[in-house]
Amino acid sequence: MHKDNSNAGGARTLAVPSGRGSRLARLGWMATGIAGGMMAEGARQLAQGNRPKVSELLLTPANVRRVADQLAKLRGAAMKVGQLISMDSGDLLPPALAEILARLRSDARAMPRAQVIGMLDANWGKGWSKQFRHFSFTPMAAASIGQVHRAQARDGREMAIKIQYPGVRESIDSDVDNVAALLRMSGLLPRQMDVKPLLRDAKRQLHDEADYLREGKYLKRYGELLADASDYALPQFHAELTTRSVLAMSLVGGVPVESLMQSPQSERDRVVGLLFALLLRELFEFRLVQTDPNFANYRYDADSGRLILLDFGATRPYKAALANEFKRLMQGAIAGDRALMAAADMAIGYFDESTQHKHREAIVDMGEQAFEPFSHQGEYDFGSTKLPARIHQAAMALGMEREFWQLPPADAMLLQRKFGGLYLLAIRLKARVNLNALAQVALASGRHRD
C-alpha cells in the first residue's frame, strides 16, 4: 500500500490529549494563564491611574485568545460545548465570549500521523494497511470530533475514512462540565443564564455524534428515505470497515456549497430551495432531522446538478407531537394568526402559564420574524434581507429582561439552529426562493414515513 507521508498539505497538526488528567491539566493551564493575564493588565491599568472592573480584566484580547487556543487544543467535547453554547445562545452572550466561540467553530487542527495510525490499529487491527492500495495521512477535513482521510481500497473503491480523536468519547461528560465551570467562574457566561439544560443536551448530542455506528445507521437510513429524490446524493456506507470510532464511506466529489457565490442566480436559487425542501420533509414527513447547519455538510456536483449531503452524526428523531406543534407554529405565522402561534409556542415550551404577557408577545413577535421568509408571498430575496440583524436585536431585548430567562427544549433549539443556519447560507448565496410555496406543499402533504 502506498502511504501519503506529506504533512496535511501544510496544515497544522497537534496531538489530542487523550487522558482525563492531561485534558484537565489543559484547563488548569488556561485558568492560570487567564489569572496571570488579569494581574498583568490590572497592574498596567493601575499604573495609568485607572480602576478597572474585574470583567474588563477578564475580557482582554489576550485572555480571549488564551481561552480559544486552549479549547481548540482539547478539541472533542471541550471544543464542541463552546460551539453549542455559541450557536444556541450567541445573541445573548458578551461580545468577547462570542469571539472566543466563533474562533472555535473555525479552528480545528489535525491529528499527527502517529495518532492516526494508533486509532486505526486499535479499530482495524495491526494489518489494516493490507486492505488498501493507498491511504493518505493528509486529512481532507478536521473538526471537533474527528478528521477525514482519503483512501483507495484494494478493489479500487475510493473511500473517505472518518477517524475519531482519541479519548473524545470517554471525556465527554467531564470535559463539558469542566469547560462550563471554567466559563462560569471566569465571568464569561451571564450569571442569570441557566445552562444546565443546554449542557445536558450537549452531552447527549456529543455521545450521539461520537458513535460512528449510529451515524452509519442514519447515513444508510437517509439513503433509503431519499431514494425517490434524484436531486440529492449521499455517500455509500461501508459497514465492514466501520466501528464506533471509525466511519467508512464512499468518496464523493463536488464543491463546497458556499463556493457557489459566483454561480448563476438560478443555480444558487435551486440549491437553496433544495436545502429548505429537504428540511421540511425531514421535519414533517421523515420526523428525522440532521440538526447540524454547518456549511461543510453540503457539497454540490455541477455536472449532475445534485446536492451532496454529508455528516449525519447530529441526526435526531422528532416525536409526532413536537413536529405537529412546529407545523401549527408555521401555519400560524403564514396565516398571521398570533393566537395559533402562541398556543404552539406554549406547547413547544417557549413559555409557560407563568410567563408575563409582554414576554409572550415578544416571543410571538420573534416567531413572526423567524418565519418571515415562509410567510412572504413570492420569492424571498435573501440577498437584501436584514432578518438576522432584526432577530438578533429582538433576542438581545428579550435577553435584557431579567424576569424572563427561559431556554426552550433542546429539540426546539436544534431546529432553530438548523433554520438559522440555512438562512445564513441563503444570505451568503444571495438566493431568491419562494419558501411560501414550499411550505404550502409541505404543510398540506406532510405524512410520517416509518
Residues identified as active-site: 292
Listed in sequence order, the residues at least 6 apart from 117 whose beta carbon sits closer than 8 Å to its beta carbon are: none
**CB–CB of 118/139 below 8 Å?**
no
**CB–CB of 360/342 below 8 Å?**
yes
**CB–CB of 333/367 below 8 Å?**
yes
**CB–CB of 179/87 below 8 Å?**
no
Q: Is the dihedral of CA 39, 41, 46, 47 positive or negative?
A: positive
